[in-house]
Structure 1
Amino acid sequence: MSRNGLITMGVALCTAAAFGLAVPHTAAAATNRCSYTSSTLRPTLTYGDTGSSVKQAQCLSNAWGGQPPKLALDGDFDTVTLKKIEWIQGCHGLPPNGVIEGHTWQVLYHPALDCYDPYPA
């Protein structure tokens, strides 16, 4: 990326942060921090599942900024994880069904800069 491109991106992120918009880490940063499984391992996960793939999804979901709570990285797909996944899906126009599959994995690895859907109480 050119120097001007980096400056433009930096200004945009600082401006977003100044206005209180949620600005998650980049997908590359999240991927580097979240190494519970390979980024190519993307099994279908549902409420009640456990294990390292659930922990990977929890870690990736924590890259989101804003109000949603940080998930415990316990590998347990519980109601708190379900609620966060449904919210993330809604932010990306996916059906908020709480099932982590192909499209949901994609958005976990490549989060939007912000979501205007309020986090459920």
Structure 2
Amino acid sequence: MPIRIGVPDMIRRKCATLGTALLTAGALATTTHDAAAAEETCSYTSSTDRPALTYMNTGPSVKQAQCLSNVWGGVPKLAVDGVFDSATSKKIIWIQGCHGLDRTGVVEENTWQVLYHPALDCYDPYPG
């Protein structure tokens, strides 16, 4: 015997499907916007210049990482001064944890990737 689905059930299912599609589209649009905003806002180095950075490094690449981390979130924002200090290290470790990366505090290729293309949300408390 075939199961009959009433009109209210069909409407509920279609609304649920539409809602899921809209949420997914919104999330994708936000991710694209954040990545574009990061590249527009932070122009201390080229987005292809991604050296490994560690505690006490200095220079424009550190400024780029600090700026990108500020676009990413967390309060207080880092001073974009080009010095990889303890505040920068803590924030990088937090961002790495939010993305499931090893919490090394070293900005390497995977960390650069998430700085330019951040996740939508982080549920780890910010250490700042």
Q: Normalised by the size of structure 1, how large is the TM-score?
A: 0.78
Q: What's the CA shift for 1:64?
A: 2.0
Which residue does the alignment assign to 2:52?
A: 44
1:90 counterpart = 2:97: yes
Q: Which runs of 4+ in 1 moved over 2 A?
A: none
User: 1:68, CA displacement in angstroms?
Assistant: 3.2
Per-residue CA distance 1:40-63 (angstroms, 9 max, x = gap): 000000000000000000000001
Q: 1:14-68 deviations in whole A, cap 9, x for unaligned?
A: xxxxxxxxx9x61111111100000000000000000000000000000123x43
Q: Which protein has the bigger helix share?
A: 2
* Runs of at least 5 residues in structure 2 that lack an aligned partner in the other structure: 1-20
Task: Provide the residue aligned with 2:76 in structure 1.
Answer: 69
Question: What is the TM-score normalised by the length of structure 2?
Answer: 0.74
Give the gaps of 5 or more residues in structure 1: 14-22
Matched with 2:124 is 117
Counterpart of 2:63 in structure 1 is: 55
Aligned counterparts of 1:95 and 1:68: Cα–Cα separation in 2 = 22
Larger Rg: 2
Distance 2:40 2:60 in 1: 15
